[in-house]
Amino acid sequence: MNDSPARLPLRTAAAVKLGNLSSTLSQKMGLGAGGMIGGRVALKLDPQALGRLTQGRNVAVVTGTNGKTTSTMMLARAVGALGEVATNHSGANMPDGHVTALSKQPDAPYAVLECDEAYFPAVAGASNPSVAVILNLSRDQLDRVGEVRTIERSLRDAVNKLQNCTIVANCDDVMVTSAAWNAAKVVWVATGTGWHHDSASCPRCGNPIRWQGEHWHCTGCDLARPHPSWITADEAMITPEHRKLELRLTLPGKFNQANAVMAAAAAHAMGVPADEAVRRLRGVSNVSGRYRTIQRNGRSARLLLSKNPAGWSETLTVVKEANHPAVLVINAQEADGRDLSWLWDVPFERLQGRTVIAAGERATDLAVRLTYAEVQHTIVPDPLKAIDQMPQGAVEVIANYTAFRDLNARAAADE
Amino acid sequence: MSESTIQIALVLPDLLGTYGDFGNAVVLEKRMKWRGIKAEIVPINYGQPVPDSCDIYVVGGGEDTAQTLAVKHLREHPGLQRAVTKNAVVLGVCAGIQIFGESFTRADNVTHPGMGLIDSSSHAGGSRAIGEVVAEPADGLFAGPLIGFENHQGRTTLGPAARPLAHVKVGTGNDGSVEGAVQGRIVCTYLHGPVLPRNPALADMLIEWATGTKLAPIDLPAVAAMRAERVRAAS
């Protein structure tokens, strides 16, 4: 297990060296965080780089619509119990990001890779993982990623081709269950989280899916909720040995409890005892700036990232606990998805009675949605100015992908 | 008074609700409520019979498999078809325009029968049409421009009984020149956004058809600002 990675062929080693150089140059010249450019150069020079860089390492790949970055960070922390881990931080989750991360830690015997769902077949195929984690699948960026069922189909085909790989799958998600259903080795995890709006009909045969409490089954074929070996309980998890472990996470919300249990189950499959895994992942508190609080002129603003209806729905539940004013920030750049129709799938009605500001490049589209949700609001496109206009005290800031990225960078520059 | 409540049937939101088209029903409901007209949304889920007693039927977009299942369900429970003969108002979006027609042919060249509610046929286009659309409503049906976001593979040809909803200025629509269809009280469009939040005049036209009353305009500054922004961005 602890073999050091195989020596790289000359071509890959040279490609990696040039890649690292361009990554450093990119950072030095202020062009970017360098998370991807190095990998892009290396992949151009050696298309097999990903396969060669993972050879001899024990690899886990993490995919799904929501929670990838957090779960990857948790899993990397947990696997750190076994040895050095190479991992791609900051959401650079396509092959060039993987190559960059792996080439920066050429001697790490373990790798935990966050992977965009559309790239999973290619990455899993090239990296021969011992564990693949599939968190959840729901509608996201329909104009870029495509429809959920297409993604499920491609994950299913990829999973069925994997040899000697344990799939860690969320059995409360119909799409994930279908993708992992025929895998040679599966560990089912009950996460208690689910977005049911994309699974009224069976992804395999099309017949209606029937729900009874937490159980579900297809009315036409044998697809049904498998018996889970790991269970997410309230602030705790139940292990396969029926032991209850308190989670005591730093990160808020039910969704992060689900991420933690998925990560613990995956770490366990890689050889980390459950107690040790939980102890380590508990420390994750700030995931690329998410969940951190910034101080501005007497306001303490908590920054939350939500990219799609399932994510927003979860975040609105998290912010419901306290009745703080909320700044909502919406962009619709390429990486966000250009189509904002999804705003109508988010239950903004839950914010009725609160102080709300609509911000971001598409603040007016959001304002229309809030108008019909009968949520009183004002429009202040610049999110930092929006925070300053709130009453002093706690403020929740929820932003989608590029809106969050830009806000986080500006807030960091101010500090 | 309960018999005067306008019922908005939200048809198969669990199959045909992929693109936020639920918003169309919300807009109809709120625009009536704000004018003192009683209205309620009646969701009709997959597996449930389709009532023929609603005043407005709203059908959204969905994925290919979901679309096939939806047609099967709507044929087995023909409440929507009966409602059309009783003059109900119908809005069909994206998949709606395809399944309401005589037939639709997929990329795999298999032709599926439609519901035959409008004189049209659809087939798969060479490329997926994705992006902002700006179009001018046909025959001054409502105040333009008609705007929205399209994301579809299908192309639609209208027969003589169906009229276009609008003429395309930016984007693809049915075929690069016309967008949507109107036949009797059925309105079809490829546009998401969703289409009714983007186009309050179209929403009010459907409400006027359903209620038989002329409506006073509602001034929503956010909607006017958003429309101006989208038209600027598209052109």
pLDDT at A129 over 80: yes
Q: pLDDT grade, residue B184 (50/70/90)?
A: very high
CA distance A342 to chain B (A): 5
* Virtual torsion, Cα A72, A78, A82, A83, nearest 10 deg: 50
Least confident of A1-5, A262-266, B119-123: A1-5
Could you tell me if A208 and A187 are in contact, meaning their C-beta atoms sit under 8 angstroms apart? Answer: no
Compute the average pLDDT of residues A259-281. 97
Stretch (H or E) spanning B105: strand B103-105
* Virtual torsion, Cα B136, B141, B143, B147, nearest 10 deg: -40
**H helical segments located in A162-308:** 174-180, 254-269, 274-281
pLDDT at A29: 47
pLDDT at A21: 60
Single-letter residue type at B134: V
Number of Cβ pairs closer than 8 Å across A and B?
Answer: 92
Closest among A278, A294, A201 to A244, alpha carbons compared: A278
**How many other CB atoms sit within 10 Å of the CB of residue B28?**
26
A342: tokens are 């999804």
Per-residue pLDDT reduced to its tens digit, A335-358: 888 999 999 999 999 999 999 999
Residues of A with CB under 8 A from a CB of B: 139, 142-143, 147-150, 197-198, 200-201, 203, 206, 208, 338-345, 364-365, 367-372, 374, 379
Compute the average pLDDT of residues A60-86. 95
The angle, 0 to 180 degrees and rounded to 10, between the axes of the packed helices A254-269 and A274-281 is 140
pLDDT at B2: 43
Per the document, the length of chain B is 235
Q: pLDDT grade, residue A18 (50/70/90)?
A: low
Label the pairing between strands A230-233 and A236-238. Answer: antiparallel
Q: pLDDT grade, residue A271 (50/70/90)?
A: very high
- Residues of A in Cβ contact (< 8 Å) with B18: 139, 142, 147, 198
- Residues of B in Cβ contact (< 8 Å) with A370: 222
Does A72 or A145 have the greater pLDDT score?
A72
Stretch (H or E) spanning B127: strand B120-137
- Using CB atoms, pick whichever of A147, A339, A345 lies closest to residue B63: A147
Compute the average pLDDT of residues A133-162. 85
Please, what's the b/e burial string for A252-262 (b: 16 or more CB within 10 A of its CB; e: otherwise)? bbbbbbbbbbb
Question: Which phi and psi angles does B34 have, rounded to 5°?
Answer: -65, -20
Q: What is the distance between the alpha carbons of residues A31 and A23, in angstroms, rounded to a whole number?
A: 10
Q: pLDDT grade, residue A6 (50/70/90)?
A: low
Per-residue pLDDT reduced to its tens digit, A309-325: 888 988 998 888 788 99
Say if B78 is an interface residue toward chain A (CB within 8 Å): no
Per-residue pLDDT reduced to its tens digit, A275-289: 999 999 998 987 878
- Using CB atoms, pick whichever of A208, A364, A379 lies closest to residue B46: A208
Q: What is the distance between the alpha carbons of residues A357 and A364, in angstroms, rounded to a whole number?
A: 11
pLDDT at B47: 83
Query: Cis (ω within 30 of 0) for the bond into B194?
Result: yes
Q: What is the distance between the alpha carbons of residues B184 and B118, in angstroms, rounded to a whole number?
A: 9
Looking at chain A, the number of H-run helices and the number of E-run strands are 14, 17
A219: tokens are 């009315």
At B155 the three-state DSSP class reads strand
Q: pLDDT grade, residue A24 (50/70/90)?
A: low
Per-residue pLDDT reduced to its tens digit, A356-388: 999 999 999 999 999 999 999 999 999 999 999
pLDDT at B135: 98
Please report where in the chains the tokens 């860089």 appear, as a residue. A53
pLDDT at A291: 86
pLDDT at B95: 74
CB-based contact A342 B19, cutoff 8 Å: yes
CB-based contact A343 B20, cutoff 8 Å: yes
pLDDT at A139: 78
Closest among A35, A74, A56 to A282, alpha carbons compared: A74
Could you tell me if A263 and A51 are in contact, meaning their C-beta atoms sit under 8 angstroms apart? Answer: no
Say if B118 is an interface residue toward chain A (CB within 8 Å): no
Say if B14 is an interface residue toward chain A (CB within 8 Å): yes
- Residues of A in Cβ contact (< 8 Å) with B225: 364, 367
CA distance A327 to chain B (A): 17
Per-residue pLDDT reduced to its tens digit, B33-67: 999 999 999 999 888 899 999 999 999 987 777 78
Provide, rounded to the nearest whole percent, the portion of chain B with pLDDT above 90. Answer: 74
pLDDT at A38: 63
CB-based contact B63 A344, cutoff 8 Å: no
pLDDT at A149: 85
Per the document, the length of chain A is 415
pLDDT at A31: 44
Per-residue pLDDT reduced to its tens digit, A386-409: 999 999 999 999 999 999 999 999
Compute the average pLDDT of residues A124-128. 94
**What's the whole-number average pLDDT of chain B?**
92
Cβ neighbors of A106 (< 8 A, separation 6 or more) are A5, A8, A16, A53
Task: Work out the widest C-alpha separation in chain B, in whole angstroms.
Answer: 52
Compute the average pLDDT of residues A252-279. 96
B102: tokens are 């005589």
pLDDT at A2: 42
Q: pLDDT grade, residue B216 (50/70/90)?
A: very high
Compute the average pLDDT of residues B123-136. 92
pLDDT at B107: 76
Cβ neighbors of A94 (< 8 A, separation 6 or more) are A36, A115, A116, A119
Compute the average pLDDT of residues A247-257. 91
CB-based contact B19 A364, cutoff 8 Å: no
User: What string of DSSP letters covers B13-65?
Assistant: TTTS-TTSTHHHHHHHHHHHHTTT--EEEEEE-TTSPPPS--SEEEE----HH
pTM above 0.90, yes or no: no
Compute the average pLDDT of residues A12-17. 67
pLDDT at A319: 86
pLDDT at B6: 97
Give the ipTM. Answer: 0.95
Could you tell me if A113 and A126 are in contact, meaning their C-beta atoms sit under 8 angstroms apart? Answer: no
Interface probe, candidates A153, A218, A341, A374, chain B, greatest B C-beta count within 10 A: A341
Q: What is the distance between the alpha carbons of residues B181 and B173, in angstroms, rounded to a whole number?
A: 10
Q: pLDDT grade, residue B68 (50/70/90)?
A: confident
Q: pLDDT grade, residue A3 (50/70/90)?
A: very low
pLDDT at A30: 43
Quick one: DSSP state of residue A224? B
Could you tell me if A284 and A112 are in contact, meaning their C-beta atoms sit under 8 angstroms apart? Answer: no
